Amino acid sequence: MLNIILMGPPGAGKGTQAVTIADEFGIPHISTGDMFREAMANKTELGLKAKAIVESGGLVPDDLTIELVKERLSRPDCANGYLLDGFPRTIPQAEALAKIGPEIDRAVNLVVNFDCPSDVLVSRIAGRRVCPKCGASYHIVNMKPKVEGVCDRCGGDLIQRKDDNADSFKVRLDNYYKQTQPLLDYYQGSGLLHSFDGTTNPKLLHDQVADLLKAHR
C-alpha cells in the first residue's frame, strides 16, 4: 500500500513530483494548498476564512486543516493509497494524522522528503508559474512550458501565485523551519522517512522516488 506523505520546504519540488508520481502509480494527489486555493476561488466558508492567511504566507489553523484532510482521506478513492502534499505541516497535524489514519484504515507508511537549500528555494519561487486548473508547476527559466503562459498538461493559463512574492515567501520559509522541519525527526523516529536531494533534476528525481515506491508497493 502506498499511503505517502511528501515533505520539504516550499519550492523543494513536492508539487512537481506529486503530479507525475500520482499519475504513474494511480493514486490521488491530495494537496492542501490546492484545496485551500480552490476553496478561495469558490468563495466557500473555508475559502473566505483562509484567504488572507494563505496570501500572506501564514498557516491555516490546525483544526480547519485537519478537518479538511480527514474528510478528503475518508473518500473511497484513497482506499488504495494516496499522496499527501503539504500536510502535515505542524506537530499537532502529524499527531492528528497518526490517530485518524489507522481509524479510517489509511495509516501512513512512507514519508518522502526533499532537501533543498534556501537560496535555491528563493530563485525557484520567484520564477514559479502554476496552472490553477491541474496543479502543474513551471519556472520561467528552468522549467519552461512548451508555449509561454500555457500549461503543457491541460492547456490552462499559467499564473503567478499571490503568495509567491518575497514577503509571503519569507513567512512561509520561516514557518517551514520552525513548525514543519521538526516533523522530519518525528518520522525518522518511526522509520518511515526517506530523504532525497531536491536539487536533482526533476526527471532523475522522479525515477529515484518511483524506484522507492515500487519497492514498497
Single out the catalytic residue among 37, 124, 129, 172: 172
217 noted as active-site residue: no
Between 62 and 81, how does the x/- string for binding to ligand ADP read (CB under 6 A)? Answer: ---x----------------
14 noted as active-site residue: yes
> The cell 520552525 sits on which residue?
178
Closer by beta carbon to ligand ADP, 133 or else 214: 133
Q: Facing residues of 113 across strands?
A: 7, 195
129 noted as active-site residue: no
Cα–Cα distances in Å, from 90 out to 46, 86, 93, 97, 199?
Answer: 19, 10, 5, 11, 24
Single out the catalytic residue among 37, 89, 106, 124: 89
Residue 73 CA to residue 30 CA, distance in Å, equals 9
**Terminal-residue alpha carbon distance, the chain:** 5
**Which among 147, 145, 118, 146 is positioned nearest to 129, based on CA atoms?**
145
**What are the backbone angles phi and psi of residue 112, rounded to the nearest 5°?**
-110, 120
- Choosing from 39, 51, 78, 87, the residue that interacts with ligand ADP (CB under 6 A) is 87
The answer to whether 135 contacts ligand ADP (rule: CB under 6 A) is no
Nearest approach, Cβ of residue 153 and Zn ion (Å)? 5
Site for ligand ADP in 149-208 (CB under 6 A): 163, 172
Cell readout for 35 is 484545496
Closer by beta carbon to ligand ADP, 72 or else 194: 72
Are β-strands 29-31 and 128-130 bridged in parallel, bridged antiparallel, or unpaired? unpaired
Nearest approach, Cβ of residue 215 and ligand ADP (Å)? 26
106 noted as active-site residue: no
Contacts of 80 (CB under 8 A, 6+ apart): 1, 26, 27
Residue 60 binding result from ligand ADP, Zn ion, none, given CB thresholds of 5 to 8 Å by partner type: ligand ADP
Residue 106 CA to residue 177 CA, distance in Å, equals 28
Q: Facing residues of 197 across strands?
A: 115
Nearest approach, Cβ of residue 59 and ligand ADP (Å)? 4
Q: Which residue is nearest to ligand ADP (CB)?
A: 33
75 noted as active-site residue: no
- Residues near ligand ADP (CB under 6 A), total: 17
Q: Which residues contact Zn ion (rule: CB under 5 A)?
A: 131, 133-134, 136, 151, 153-154, 156
For residues 73, 124, 199 and 157, what is the CA-based torsion angle, rounded to 10 degrees? 60
- Provide the binding-site residues for ligand ADP, judged by CB under 6 A: 10, 32-33, 36, 53-54, 57-60, 65, 86-87, 89, 93, 163, 172
The catalytic residues are 14, 89, 128, 161, 172
